[in-house]
Structure 1
């Protein structure tokens, strides 16, 4: 079970007991915000893409969308999300519970700048009814991210 994989991974940081299992679905940004009692923007959604160099995860604020020109400029290819049936075998977590914790070897994690405006955020933890509240420095540490990127739109003030 994917939540067990995420918890086992988080154990190395002493954070496995902080994983929250909700009695309701948290599979979408809206459902997760309702379950966590926070604004949707603080849900750290994890999006999976295929690049020329392999599979990557982008962790971004819940109120954002991928900015295709920025994505292409950063990764050198068009933004191509994994198909539903590819996600679990490629990432190690199923759609609705994709997170940057305990992912398959070879998956590279990036954090989007849209997250930096919050003190804490709520990424999923491997199942469609789980999350963990983490600070941004904890997210950096726990995710083993490669780099911060600025590839999302819709969150900055006009």
Structure 2
């Protein structure tokens, strides 16, 4: 397990700028950097010492060719058909790495829930609200920050939806 350190300067510069613009200096002060990457939800949960469901996955999809960000807890999977229905799209697919970077300005594994290069529609799964605090990427695969889920959804400009895969 990595030894975390609080390091406000560890955030990606674009994300640090977004925090400043949103008046979230207290969030910047709580950014934690890990020597080992926390690209996956499981890696992040292990490094932080929290439950998998307390990790926020920021996933980019393309709905009829238009990027959409889906915020999902780390213990769940996105049901692409439910996303398609929610958006009224003909088709939805996972965006490739180039499209993720083009849309957000960040690499897969470090995409934060807000502070993106472009304005993108955001869907946030209601399951995130089951936790008092969730952890999300701070723009790099090595950095995370904590936030109350309702605040995170608000700052991301997200719409609350039910898009998780249902258990069999």
TM-score between both structures, scaled by the size of structure 2:
0.83
Range that drifts further, 114-123 or 77-86: 77-86
**What's 2:102 paired with?**
89
The Cα offsets for residues 54-96 of structure 1, whole Å up to 9 and x where unpaired, read as 2111111001112233122112233311112221122111111
SS of residue in 2 equivalent to 1:9: helix
Following superposition, the deviation at residue 53 of structure 1 comes to 7.0
Contact persistence 1:119–1:136 (CA under 8 A): yes
The Cα offsets for residues 125-151 of structure 1, whole Å up to 9 and x where unpaired, read as 110011111112321233232x11111
**What's 2:5 paired with?**
none
Q: Number of matched residues?
A: 155
**What's 1:54 paired with?**
66
**What's 1:32 paired with?**
44
Pairing 1:148–2:157 present = no
Following superposition, the deviation at residue 29 of structure 1 comes to 0.7
Task: Please list every run of 5 or more consecutive structure 2 residues that lacks an aligned counterpart in the other structure.
Answer: 1-9
**What's 1:119 paired with?**
132
**What's 1:110 paired with?**
123
Distance 1:83-1:53 versus aligned 2 partners, 3 A rule:
closer
Task: Please list every run of 5 or more consecutive structure 1 residues that lacks an aligned counterpart in the other structure.
Answer: none
Distance 1:53-1:81 versus aligned 2 partners, 3 A rule:
closer
Contact persistence 1:71–1:78 (CA under 8 A): no
**Which of 7, 24, 31 is the equivalent residue of 1:13?**
24
The Cα offsets for residues 88-118 of structure 1, whole Å up to 9 and x where unpaired, read as 1221111110112210223122211111111
TM-score between both structures, scaled by the size of structure 1:
0.88
Q: CA RMSD in A?
A: 2.0
Partners in 1 of 2:12 and 2:157 — Cα distance?
18
Partners in 1 of 2:85 and 2:150 — Cα distance?
26
